[in-house]
C-alpha cells in the first residue's frame, strides 16, 4: 500500500467505514510508515476533540435577526425578475452541487497546511503571541457589531506537546492508558501496553492491561497483556478470572495457550480442574497438550508443582 492510498483511507478508517481487510492494511502501513502514522495520530486527535465539543445553540437575538433578514429577502423576491438575477450556481443540479461539495472537502483535506510565515494568522487576524504556531481548531463564537466594524470572536487551538520520562510518572502513564484504550493504531497500542507492563502494580496500568485482554481486537495486544498480568495471577483473583475467561473464550489459540502458561506458572490450585477438563475436551490440539502438561506436572498431594 502506498502512502497516498493509505492517507486517502484514514478518514474512512476513523469513521469505521473500512472493511476489516482494508482497515488492517491501513493500520499495518501506518505501523511501518512514520509519516502516515503521524497523519493518523493527528486526524484521530482532531476527531476526538471535535467529538468532545459541547453542542452549541444559537442565541435568541441571532435567530431573530436571521428570521428578519429572511423575511426581507423573501419579500424582495419577484419571481421571473429575481430568478433572472440569481447567479448560475443557484440552478445547479443536486449532482453538480454534490461534486462541488466533494471538491471543497478534498481541497480542505489535501491542500498543504499553512506555512511558518502564515502560522498564527486566522482569516487575517493575528493570533496572540503566546499562541503562535498553534493550529486553529475552529471559531466557536462570533459577534459582529452592525454599527461598526468591531468583531468579537472565540476560537479553539490545538497544540502539540511532548513529555519525557518513565511510565512511573502519572502524567505519562495517563497518556499511555488513553493510548492503549483509544488509539486506532495497533502498533501504538502495543507500545503503550509494553510500557504499562512495567508498571503492572499500579492500579491504572493494571486496569488498562485487563481491558486489553478482554476488549482489544488485536491478538498481539491481548497476548502482550496476558503475559504482563502473569506476575499478578497468583495473588489477584480479578486478574486470574480475566485470564480464565481469555483461556475459555478468546478466538486466538496463541492467546489461549499463553493464558494456560501464565495460569499454570501461578500454581493456583483451583485452575487444575479446568486444565484437566481442557486436556480431554478442548477442540484445539495444542490447548489440549499444554493443559495436559500442567495436569501431569501436578503432584499427588494436590496443587500444581
**Considering the domain boundaries, does residue 304 fall inside one?**
no
* Residues near 107 by beta carbon (within 8 Å), at least 6 away in sequence: none
Same domain, 195 and 263: yes
Q: Which domain holds residue 192?
A: 170-296
The CA distance from 202 to 265, in Å, is 22
Same domain, 74 and 102: yes
Record the cell numbers describing residue 249, joined without a space: 473464550
pLDDT of residue 263: 92
Counting the structural domains of the chain, the total is 3
Q: How many CB atoms lie within 10 A of CB 86?
A: 10
How many residues are listed for the chain in this entry?
Answer: 305
pLDDT of residue 104: 52
Which residue is associated with the grid cell 500500500?
1
The CA distance from 23 to 35, in Å, is 17
User: 274-302 pLDDT, tens per residue?
Assistant: 999 999 999 999 899 989 988 887 654 44
Is the separation of the CB atoms in 256 and 265 below 8 Å?
no
The CA distance from 218 to 207, in Å, is 17
Phi and psi, residue 297, nearest 5°? -85, -5
pLDDT of residue 60: 62
Same domain, 102 and 28: no
CA atoms within a 13 Å half-sphere pointing along the CA-CB vector of 253: 10
User: 90-137 pLDDT, tens per residue?
Assistant: 444 554 545 444 555 444 444 444 444 433 444 344 455 555 555 666
User: 37-85 pLDDT, tens per residue?
Assistant: 888 887 777 767 666 554 555 666 666 667 667 766 666 554 444 444 4
Q: What is the DSSP letter of 216?
A: -
Q: What is the DSSP letter of 300?
A: T
**Considering the domain boundaries, does residue 138 fall inside one?**
yes
Q: What is the CATH number of the domain that holds 291?
A: 1.25.40
pLDDT (average), residues 201-226: 94
Burial grade of 232 (CB within 10 A; 0-12, 13-18, 19 or more): buried
Same domain, 188 and 86: no
Same domain, 176 and 287: yes
pLDDT (average), residues 202-210: 95
**Considering the domain boundaries, does residue 190 fall inside one?**
yes
Q: How many CB atoms lie within 10 A of CB 256?
A: 24
Same domain, 290 and 208: yes
Same domain, 146 and 247: no
Q: Which residue has the higher pLDDT, 148 or 272?
A: 272
Same domain, 151 and 248: no
User: At CA 55, angle to CA 52 and CA 56, rounded to 5?
Assistant: 135
Same domain, 292 and 174: yes
Same domain, 138 and 225: no
Is the separation of the CB atoms in 292 and 279 below 8 Å?
yes
pTM of the prediction? 0.50
The sign of the dihedral angle between the CA atoms of 230, 232, 234, 238 is: negative
**Considering the domain boundaries, does residue 55 fall inside one?**
no
* Residues near 294 by beta carbon (within 8 Å), at least 6 away in sequence: 260, 264, 272, 275, 304
List, as one string, the DSSP characters of 108-139: HHHSPPPPTTTTTEETTEEPPGGGTTPEEEEE
Is the separation of the CB atoms in 233 and 240 below 8 Å?
yes
C-alpha gyration radius of the chain = 29
Same domain, 38 and 69: no
Amino acid at each position: 500500500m502506498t502512502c497516498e492510498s493509505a492517507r486517502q483511507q484514514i478518514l474512512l478508517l476513523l469513521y469505521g467505514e473500512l472493511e476489516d481487510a482494508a482497515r488492517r492494511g491501513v493500520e499495518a502501513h501506518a505501523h511501518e510508515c512514520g509519516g502516515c502514522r503521524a497523519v493518523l495520530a493527528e486526524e484521530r486527535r482532531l476527531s476526538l476533540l471535535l467529538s468532545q465539543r459541547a453542542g452549541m445553540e444559537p442565541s435568541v437575538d441571532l435567530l431573530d435577526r436571521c428570521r428578519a433578514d429572511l423575511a426581507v429577502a423573501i419579500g424582495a423576491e419577484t419571481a421571473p425578475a429575481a430568478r433572472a438575477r440569481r447567479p448560475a450556481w443557484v440552478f445547479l443540479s443536486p449532482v453538480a452541487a454534490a461534486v462541488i461539495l466533494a471538491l471543497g472537502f478534498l481541497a480542505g483535506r489535501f491542500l498543504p497546511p499553512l506555512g511558518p510565515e502564515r502560522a498564527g494568522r486566522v482569516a487575517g487576524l493575528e493570533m496572540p503571541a503566546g499562541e503562535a504556531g498553534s493550529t486553529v481548531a475552529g471559531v466557536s463564537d462570533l459577534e459582529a457589531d452592525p454599527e461598526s466594524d468591531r468583531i468579537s470572536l472565540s476560537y479553539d487551538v490545538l497544540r502539540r506537546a511532548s513529555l519525557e520520562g518513565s511510565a512511573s510518572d502519572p502524567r505519562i502513564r495517563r497518556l499511555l492508558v488513553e493510548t492503549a484504550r483509544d488509539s486506532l493504531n495497533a502498533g501504538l497500542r502495543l507500545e503503550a501496553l509494553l510500557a504499562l507492563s512495567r508498571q503492572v502494580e499500579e492500579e491504572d496500568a493494571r486496569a488498562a492491561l485487563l481491558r486489553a485482554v478482554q476488549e482489544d481486537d488485536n491478538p498481539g495486544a491481548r497476548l502482550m497483556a496476558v503475559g504482563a498480568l502473569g506476575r499478578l495471577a497468583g495473588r489477584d483473583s480479578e486478574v486470574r478470572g480475566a485470564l480464565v475467561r481469555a483461556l475459555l473464550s478468546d478466538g486466538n489459540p496463541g492467546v489461549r495457550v499463553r493464558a494456560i502458561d501464565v495460569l499454570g506458572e501461578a500454581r493456583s490450585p483451583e485452575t487444575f480442574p479446568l486444565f484437566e477438563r481442557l486436556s480431554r475436551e478442548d477442540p484445539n490440539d495444542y490447548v489440549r497438550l499444554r493443559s495436559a502438561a500442567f495436569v501431569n506436572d501436578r503432584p499427588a498431594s494436590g496443587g500444581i508443582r
